[in-house]
Structure 1
Amino acid sequence: MSSIFDEVVNRKNTDSLKWDYCKQRFGKSGILPMWVADMDFKSPSIISEAIIQRAQHGIFGYTEASERLSAALAGWMKKRHGWQIDEKWISYSPGVVTSVNTAILAYTKPGDKVLMQTPIYYPFYNSIIDNERELVTNSLRDNNGHYGIDFEDLEKKLSDNVKMMIFCSPHNPIGRVWKIDELKEVLRLCKKYNVILVSDEIHSDLVFKGHKHIPIASLIEDDFKNCITLVSPTKTFNIAGLSVSAVIISEAGLRAKFRSTLSKNGANMLNIFGLVAAEAAYSSCEKWLDELLVYLEENLNTLEEYFKENIPQIKVIRPEATYLAWLDCNGLKVPAGQLKDFFVNKAGVGLNDGFAFGKEGLGFQRLNFACPRTVLLEGLERIKKAVDGLSC
């Protein structure tokens, strides 16, 4: 059956980071880009129509997030994730990375320790190091393709004067959806050692069947409220270029400090079209998302089956959420340090090199499968041809 997501849209000459800057990133033209985390699908038509309607007004002055947007986001969180939030808890920033940087500046000082669970979304490394904080890592355990938290190591690290923990839920790049007992243990340890918890939940709407995202802040109790939740419609509805995200903080003091720091950095004014798009997304695009999730899971099944049948040397770590596949390439006859070169120059595909996510990612690649199935199959066939060539 044909799907709206089968349409192949030419994204070239649209200033697309993914498509128009391949040569700058990978060193050659003709690369099929399957890396940066945006989708090759049109955003919901409801969002486009809302933007067009606002653009026709013709005046684009300074703006603020409306009460309508906050009400829509609160309704979304309750319906999709079972979390009842107060609209006054919500602040807005241009993006999750901006919010992570703002939280680091607001709640820690130079030299303070900030912990992350690695491998992890690579811009967070810069958020810590560039702000002159000390990076502490808690490596996730790879249990034959199923990653889990090393709680013994986590407690040891948190107990050593760590001030903040950046938590990725669902996790990027490995795609784990954390279970309630894992979330409760993270909260217990942060409470025990008085650690501020910053939870990146940007992929929380992109969860596959059989799994359920639980906002970690929905589990907090009155005696521990040092929890900051970061969400955004940008991944869910493919509007990353519109630069809009939300920050949910229930504790008044933490919320005021975050807003003050955001303002000091001049990052508290958002793009008017981003606000319009976010309101339309959270108000009227749930059906589109449900259809997207079906298509993404079918793509994931296609990808997993293709590798098993045609490229068994590469093992797919099946994600429970996100549209990003974590590929274990240690079975290839290619040294881990040469994988990027192999995929670019032999296969002609542009992936994210796993080492960028941390030393634990050496020997891995991250592949974005949020594209029409014909494009996905083209990428897989390119990889197969290159792998077959290794044995010649």
Structure 2
Amino acid sequence: MRTQVAIIGAGPAGMLLSHLLAAEGIDTVIVEARSEEYVLGRIRAGILEHGSVELLRAAGLGSRLDAEGLPHRGIHLQFPRERHHLDFIDLIGRGVWVYGQTEVQKDLVAARSAAGQSIYYEARDLEISDVETDRPSLTFVGSDGRRQTVVADAVVGCDGSFGPSRAVIPDSAKQTWHRTYPFSWLGVLADVAPSTDELIYAWHPDGFAMHSMRSPSVSRLYLQVDNGTDIDDWSHQRIWDALAARLGDGQDGWTLTPGPITEASVLPMRSYVQTPMRHGRLFLAGDSAHIVPPTGAKGLNLAIADVALLAPALVSLVRDDDSRSADTYSDDALRRVWRCTHFSWWMTSMLHTSGDPFDDQLQLSQLRWVCSSEAGATGLAENYAGLPIPSGSTRF
């Protein structure tokens, strides 16, 4: 097969990139190791930044988001006997939306299916070749057992942290930074209406807790737990009891409403950044180049921002043989990546307990400052609601 851009990974980053390129008349082929059902069913992020929403709308992907998404003005920050609302609209003029990654994926699949996009699911034995030439290629075994080769003008790795793309860049040409946190999140989905109007981020001596949501009838909640925690050690009653204690059930008349838990898992907390995000005609976007802890709600939004920068660069590269924006893609993207990595680290460090009483007091001091200082609250709001996606990074 011959195409202009070969994309590895059919998650939101890969599918959105294909959608943006198609609007510019650029042909793509997508190769995905997992099944379509698996990709659609993954439980991931739930918060969209203001800029992400604007991009999806402009790209013709906003109708269901506008109908079913939940616009939020801000978040609640909580520590013992205090809960404070930070109103992002008042502080910086823009808020966020609750709209799950699974819903974004559904919208992208529907759009690409309607356009007749070539997607090869359940591909195995993927090999990436010739990325240092102007004709890189992918070779893989499809679900029908046939080996196929795709030759392209550029290859984009949107295949996550465990995919093959990032490993293609030789060690001599890359640097990688890692951070593994000494705790994990126990996350649950519950078929119960949220007990809060907007997200609650709670510092508690027993550990961090968060009350999020996916819809008016589905709640998403998290607990800080030790690394290596076995989900089987946590009964549903134990989970609800811990959530009620850490989220302040009964304080000031507020009550956490429990309900049937439909999904529960333990998520290790880690961060990494790999640079550069380009090697020859291979480009990385999303989790293949960077991972952040979910405390700052940045993972999906960083992937969208990467793609917004990369799409016009690829259009110029494959249509006009103009490599200038492709040459600056990695540096341009990494400026945002490191800013969001720092914000995610800051939120994580401020809200998760370590067992050290000295650290506890520093965290409480930081929380009190953020909640009482307009400057502190504005800094959090600006980063949480998202830095603007640079104008001109996409035509939409």
TM tier relative to shorter chain: under 0.3
Flag the structure with higher strand content: 2
Q: What's the TM-score, normalizing by structure 1?
A: 0.22
Flag the structure with higher helix content: 1
Q: What's the TM-score, normalizing by structure 2?
A: 0.22
